[in-house]
Amino acid sequence: MIIAGDWALPVTSAPIRRGAVRVQGSKITSVGTLEQLTRANPSDSIHDHPGCVITPGLVNAHTHLSLSSMLGLLPPSDFATWISHMAGPVQALSPDDFADAAAFGALECLRSGITVVGDIAYGPEAPAAAADTGIGGVFFWEVLGISADELPEALARHDFPAESSACDGRTLCGISPHAPYTSGPGLIKAAYDYARRWHYDFAIHVAESLAETRLLAAGEGPLRSAVERLAPDFRAPGVGTVRYLEHLGVLKDAVAVHCVNLMPGEAELLAAHARGVVLCPRSNRYLLNGPAPVAQLRMAGVRLALGTDSLASNDVLDLFAEARELIAIDPELTSERVLRIMTIEGAQVLGVDRDYGSLEAGKHADLVAIQIADTDDPIGALVTRGAPEHIRSVVTGGIWRLIDGRMAFLTKEIEQKSARVAEKAARALRGA
C-alpha cells in the first residue's frame, strides 16, 4: 500500500511535496513523490491524506505507561512532596491495575502520534499492553530500595526476561535503578553491570530536582529520609549526579533522564559518555523543578530526546506540547532540530534508530498523518502548531491503529478499566 499526503517528512532528508511512503508487510520499502511510487507500483492501494504531512511515528523517550490512570491524582507541587505522596497509590496497585493503566497510556500515545516509547516498567504489563496496541520501544524494568545482592531475585520476581533474546521485535528490554536517592551505589553498579553483561539497555533519572542536588552535595534536604530508608549504602559524594554516576562507572552509554540541575562540566561529561539525555520540560514544570539547561546541553553536543514523563506529573502525553516548551526554554532551537529530537534523535537515544525515527526503506512502517494548514514550511508548521487533535491516521508495523481520526480498538472498555484503577489509586491516597 501507498500512504500519501501534501508533504512527506523523511527527517533524514528534505521534505517531499506530494510525498508518499510505500509499505509492504511491516516495513517501509520506498519513499518518494506520490507520482513516482504509483508509477512504479500501479497495483498498490493508495491511502491519500489531503492537507496532511506524513511523518515517522513520534518517539516519547521517557514515560511511565503503568501510571497513566493517575492523571490529575496529585496537583502540581514541589518534587519532594509529590514523590512522597506517590508511594501509597503506587503500592496499592496490582499487576492487573498496571496492565489496565498501561493499555490506556498506550492508546493515549497513539492518539498523539507516538509509536515508540522509552517506558519505565514495573513488570511485564507495560510491554504486553504496548505489544497489543502496536507501540514499540524500550521498556526499562525499574528497581529501587534493594541491595545489589537482591537484584537477580527482584528482576525474576517481576518477570524480567531471563535472556535478552526474549526482548526483540518491537518491545525491547532494559533496566533502570530509579535514582540516586532510592538506589544506592551498590545497586546502581550491579544494575549497570547486569545490563552490560546481558546486552540490555540502561536508564536512570538524573539531577531531576534541587532536593537531589542538596542530597548529593551534603547529604541533607527533604530526600534524606528516603535515601536512608531505601539506599542505606549511600554517602553524599559532594558532587553533582552526573559526576557521581561517572565515578561509579555507570555513565557510559546510559540514557540519562531529566538532567535539570547540572553542575559545571557535567553537560560535557554527558556528551562524552552517555548515549543521550531525555528532556521532560512540562513534567519538570509540573513538579516545580525548573527548566533543564537545554542550550548548554545542545552546545555541548549532547544527543537529545523528548519525553512526557507520566500522567501523574503531566496532563497529556503530547510530544508537540513538550516541543513548544523546549523551544520556549531555548529559542535558538530550529524546527528541523526539534523534529529530529521528536523522531530520529529520540530513537538514537533509545538505541532503536535502526528500526524507527525516520521514513527510510527497511525501517518499521511507523507513520503518522497529521493535519496542517497549507504551507511551504511543513516542518515549522508541524512543530509550532501540531497537536493530538490534528492526528488523522497512525500506522505501526504496517497495521492501521488510527484511521481518519477513529481508533481501531474497542477503547471504551480500556477507558473504563483505567477509570477503576484511578479510583483505587485515589482511595489509597485518601487513606494515606
pLDDT of residue 410: 75
CATH of the domain at 211: 3.20.20.140
pLDDT per residue over 246-263, tens digit each? 999 999 999 999 999 999
Domain membership flag for residue 404: no
pLDDT of residue 388: 95
Four-CA torsion 385, 386, 391, 392, nearest 10 degrees: 50
Confidence label for 165 from pLDDT (cuts 50, 70 and 90)? low
Domain membership flag for residue 407: no
Pair 251, 307 in one domain? yes
The share of the chain scoring above pLDDT 70, in percent, equals 99
Largest CA distance in the chain: 69
Check pLDDT > 90 for residue 137.
Answer: yes
Place of cell 477503547: 411
pLDDT per residue over 63-117, tens digit each? 999 999 999 999 999 999 999 999 899 999 999 999 999 999 999 999 999 999 9
- H or E element in which residue 125 lies: helix 125-133
Confidence label for 412 from pLDDT (cuts 50, 70 and 90)? confident
In DSSP notation, 363-422 reads SB--EEEEE--S-S-HHHHHHHH--GGGEEEEEETTEEEEETTEESS-HHHHHHHHHHHH
- Residue 99 is which amino acid? A
Pair 159, 81 in one domain? yes
Pair 85, 204 in one domain? yes
Domain membership flag for residue 403: no
Pair 333, 389 in one domain? no
Pair 30, 144 in one domain? no
Domain membership flag for residue 429: no
| Residues of the domain holding 213 | 58-350
Confidence label for 31 from pLDDT (cuts 50, 70 and 90)? very high
Check pLDDT > 80 for residue 357.
Answer: yes
Q: Which neighbouring-strand residues pair with 391? A: 370
Pair 46, 71 in one domain? no
Check pLDDT > 70 for residue 324.
Answer: yes
Number of domains in the chain: 2
Pair 130, 269 in one domain? yes
pLDDT per residue over 261-271, tens digit each? 999 999 999 99
pLDDT of residue 330: 98
Distance CA 113, CA 387 (A): 9
The dihedrals phi and psi of 374, each to the nearest 5 degrees, come to -55, 130
Pair 104, 193 in one domain? yes
pLDDT of residue 164: 63
Q: What is the mean pLDDT of the chain?
A: 95
Pair 133, 206 in one domain? yes
Range of lowest pLDDT (207-216, 315-324, 404-413): 404-413
pLDDT of residue 161: 87
Domain membership flag for residue 357: no
Pair 161, 175 in one domain? yes
Confidence label for 329 from pLDDT (cuts 50, 70 and 90)? very high
Domain membership flag for residue 381: yes
Q: Which three cell numbers stand for residue 301?
A: 553536543
Distance CA 24, CA 74 (A): 45
pLDDT of residue 411: 85
CB distance 291 to 284 below 8 Å: yes
Confidence label for 390 from pLDDT (cuts 50, 70 and 90)? very high
Domain membership flag for residue 432: no
Residues 6+ apart with CB under 8 A from 137: 59, 116, 117, 118, 119, 130, 170, 171, 172, 350, 352, 356
Pairing of strands 19-24, 2-8: antiparallel
Q: Name the burial class of residue 156, with classes exposed (0-12), middle (13-18) and buried (19+) by CB atoms within 10 angstroms of its CB.
A: exposed
Question: Taking the CA of residue 92 as centre, how many other CA atoms within 13 Å lie in the half-sphere pointing to its CB?
Answer: 20
Pair 131, 206 in one domain? yes
- With a threshold of 0.85, does the pTM exceed it? yes
Q: Which three cell numbers stand for residue 406?
A: 477513529
pLDDT of residue 375: 95
CB distance 256 to 235 below 8 Å: no
Q: Which three cell numbers stand for residue 3?
A: 500512504
Average pLDDT over residues 402-429: 89
Pair 30, 89 in one domain? no
Range of lowest pLDDT (26-35, 87-96, 305-314, 320-329): 87-96
